[in-house]
Amino acid sequence: MGGGGGFAGNPGRALNPKGNQKAPGDSAGGTSPVKPGSGAWSGPRRDVQVVALKHANAVSLAKSLHELFGDGNTRVAAEQQSNSLMIYADAATSELLTKLIERLDKPTKRE
C-alpha cells in the first residue's frame, strides 16, 4: 500500500518527503489542525482493525478484498509475517469485512 494514509494513529495525515506530518490542505510552512467537517475528517469515524488469519493467505485475500472494497474510504493491507490483515474502515464496513474474512478463512482441501 503506497502513498500517504495513516494507519499509525494518524488517520487522514500523510508524511511529506522530509518525514514531517502534514495534514491535507496545510500550507507549505504550517501545520494547522484540520477541523471536523472540513472535508479531510468528514464522514463516519474510521478505525484500524487487525485480523489474524488461520488458513487463508493474507496477501491474496487483501488483493481480493481491495477489488471489492477499494473505494478510497476503506483500506485493506496484508501483513505477511503474521499473516494478518489490517483494515481501515468505518464500523459498518469493518463488521462486513470481518464476517466475510471469517467465511473465507477456512482450511483448504490440501490442509
Question: Among 19, 45, 21, which Cα is nearest to 33's?
Answer: 21
C-alpha 94: how far from its chain's center?
10
User: Which domain CATH number covers 88?
Assistant: 3.30.1370.120
pLDDT digits (tens, 9 = 90+) for 39-67: 455 567 888 999 999 999 999 999 999 99
Query: Which ranges of 5-74 does DSSP label H, i.e. alpha helix?
Result: 58-69
pLDDT digits (tens, 9 = 90+) for 70-110: 888 899 999 999 999 999 999 999 999 999 999 999 998 77
- Considering the domain architecture, whether residues 39 and 56 belong to the same structural domain is answered as no
Question: Among 19, 3, 4, 5, which Cα is nearest to 88's?
Answer: 5
- Considering the domain architecture, whether residues 33 and 49 belong to the same structural domain is answered as no
* DSSP run (H or E) holding 95: helix 91-104
Instruction: Name the residue range of residue 18's domain.
Output: 1-43
